[in-house]
Amino acid sequence: MNDVHKIPERTASDADGLLYDPGVRKSMQILATDSEIGSLEAAAALRSAWQAVDRLRSKGAGGRGLSTGALDVLGRLKVSHHDLSIGDLARVCGVSSRNVTGLVDTLAGNGLAERVPDPHDRRAVRVRITAAGHAWLESFRQPTDRAMSAIFAGFTPEELAQLRHLCLRVVDNQRAIEQYLNGTQPSTP
């Protein structure tokens, strides 16, 4: 079962010339019916791909130790061009306010973001990126661009668009399931 949770050491090609992870396939054959194996293998492949991308992203951070979540918050602060409330950050990042508070603590502790009083609500605080945060993102950009170019080497623009599309379909399905389980109607785009 551990084969499902690690990045494959090697892949193989099936009869159609499509890649698969032999360790995952072997594990899935024990756990699932033939009709379930495809979706379970796809989920494992998606997880392995994310881990591969995240390892390169971490290397691009140059050992500066920002998690994916903290990097997302910092990026959202940069593109917003103004300070945001914790609630706003939680909504745009798709996580809880408690999670964002911890991420902001990390960023503030590293001098990359700062809390400022909310001019309209003295009980609330807002968060903004600092000059050091802007500089950190700029120094992160170039090695990240190189890493992403390397990891997606050989992909055509059409394949990248299709990969993006398929990944976001997974996200849309997950959101619809959560809305259904919470008793709310799924939103339509």
Query: 77: domain CATH number?
Result: 1.10.10.10
Domain that holds residue 125: 68-135
The answer to whether position 178 is within a domain reads no
Do 48 and 8 form a contact (C-beta atoms < 8 A)?
A: yes
The answer to whether position 175 is within a domain reads no
The answer to whether position 177 is within a domain reads no
Secondary structure of residue 182 in the 3-state scheme: coil
Q: Same domain, yes or no, for 127 and 78?
A: yes
The answer to whether position 48 is within a domain reads yes
Neighbours of 34 (CB within 10 A): 8
CA angle in degrees (0–180, nearest 5) for 34-40-46:
145
The answer to whether position 74 is within a domain reads yes
The answer to whether position 162 is within a domain reads no
The answer to whether position 27 is within a domain reads yes
Per-residue pLDDT tens listing for the chain (189 residues): 444 445 556 888 888 888 888 888 888 888 777 777 888 888 888 988 888 887 776 666 555 567 888 989 999 999 998 899 999 999 998 889 999 999 999 999 999 999 999 888 888 899 999 999 999 988 888 777 888 888 899 999 999 999 999 999 998 998 899 888 888 765 555
Q: Same domain, yes or no, for 12 and 40?
A: yes
Q: Same domain, yes or no, for 80 and 124?
A: yes
The total of structural domains in the chain comes to 2
Helices (H), the chain: 22-31, 34-60, 68-80, 86-93, 97-109, 131-151, 157-181
